[in-house]
Structure 1
Amino acid sequence: MTSPVGQRRPAGASTQLRLVSQVARLYHGRHLRQREIAERLHMSQARVSRLLAMAQDEGIVRTVVAVPEGLYPELETAVELAYGVAEVHVVEVTEDKAIPYELGSVAAQYFSDSPLDGRVIGFTSWSSTLRVMARELATGRGVRGRTVVEMLGDLGSPDLQHDAARATQRLSAALGADPVYLRTPGVVPDAARRAAVLHDPYVARTIELLGRLDVAFVGVGPADTHGPLRAGDNFFSADQLRAVRAAGAAGQLLQRFVDADGRAVRTDLDELVVGITLPQLRAAGRRIVVAGGASKHAALAACLRGGWIDLLITDLASARHLAATAGQPDESRFAY
């Protein structure tokens, strides 16, 4: 499992070592008990014990923790401590256009090695990175009664909507879960249209499920048109987005806008979104973000300051930016 000097490990191959290294750091470096590590990383205590044994077998633990090439534990710890987030994983990415694929691939390997707990799992199906994760996630043993539910209606072109539905189906199959789709526009023209959509029994059932999520894979982005989206294409117009930025929006979680401190920015646009609300998202048991790139730096920092992220998988440049610009979080930001 070693690699030649100067040769970067493939993202997927390094994920097991990343988990082994993380457990070793928590046990030997931060002196947490195996039970505490198991609770923190959502795994059994027996698995923690096996990973610690593997750390010795691989030579990661000797008299000190020897970090494998291509991993950044000190930076991960710096971001965790600066923002009070439970878990951060940093991935070295060769170029910006590769970010969705490489982060999605690492997330898929991570959740194959460290299976998800919880019966109701929220999913952002239009996220490019999370679609990669869903495609590459190894099929595991299903949990009876588990559900994967889409957290936002359709965004973007018909092709993107089709890809989003397939991603939900793939994630559900990998987890042995039943998919629950939200096949309605994610952004509607007016509040009256939204009210009519919410009366649909299938939509109402989905919205009700969003209030009891055990795990949420959250899409995070700038308060602007981004990725494969186009203004007005089942999405906000350029004028609407300019207005919400003028009102202080620094980023969005599933098209719910927050300011630089992670506080909700309340505008009329909230009444146009068909999907999870910020109070529902706050109530989720575990919120996971897999995102990176310069366009998302401000949004990621805002969401971390607001306590909206429990586990973050991001690229090296984004992590360095987050560590360099971190401020001490104000506890008042965590109340909605």
Structure 2
Amino acid sequence: MKIFRVACMAVAMLFTGTSFAQTTTAQGYPSKPVKIIVPYAAGGTGDLLARLIAQELSKQTSQSFVVENRTGAGGLIGYGAGAKSAGDGYTLLAMDSSYTMFRGLYGPRVDWNIDTDLIPVSLYARAAFALVVNPARNYSNAQDLVRTAKEKPAQLMYGTPGAGTLHHVFTARMLSSLDLNMTHVPYRGASDALAAVLGNNVDWTFVAMPTIASQLTNERLRVIAITSDGRSPLLPNVPTLRESGIPMSVANWFGLGAPKGTAPETLAFLNKHIRDALQSPEVAARMKSMGADVVGNTQAEFAEIVRNDLTVWTKVIRDAGIKN
């Protein structure tokens, strides 16, 4: 009888090996604080959303998930730090669409493998950009900006969160399509680029909606267009770029990544807990109030989005001759 019971246990473990491994991981991980590297300055959308996710993961796991901002080179420094970290689950990376610009802009200059050194874990949000100006510049709409740029070639300045970010590449593509010449001023994050507009140091910038959600009543800021396909509930009176005569749209995605070598069980654990967090009405309401759309998907779905965007944006960058 004893032999029979042992045999049954062995068979049960054989057929439930995956579940057993995942349960063990869930019980043992995380056993110490987890660091989430944000490759941009505090206060930008990537930072705000990463902190929200970190807070929820901390609640769910009873372990600290701590955000660390590693800025510079349009996010390349922070991404590199994440890609080169140990794949033990204790260093993660807040990713965004700008990651998919790197192959086209930097190619072999990147000293880590863009295709394999980071593993997409879960995409948690998307957010369109707002085209913001300082009212002192007297731009009431996007066409005012276009008209002034044509009258003053190379004299207008636009800020971005950094060279090589989606903001930079999308702007370069837009200016090329409109045959406009403006001066690019890269900063160390969206919050710094926005501060430059508020300080009237540049003519305009694109920032993701969550970055300006708390600034919509600021008298030193005016939103003259958004890059989504439809108008934002936060700014129902602000037209889209398409409505403004510029037939383009874009949205930045935000998700969590992990270094190569991270255990599949740990990746699955993180994906599940992020998706659980996004089911919370409180989290959904918070993201909505920031102007972000909740996503939440599988690892495979996120990986496919990253692969597709790498292909699309690499072609856009090379076809348009965008350099960094």
With normalisation by structure 2, the TM-score equals 0.28
Higher strand share: 2
With normalisation by structure 1, the TM-score equals 0.27
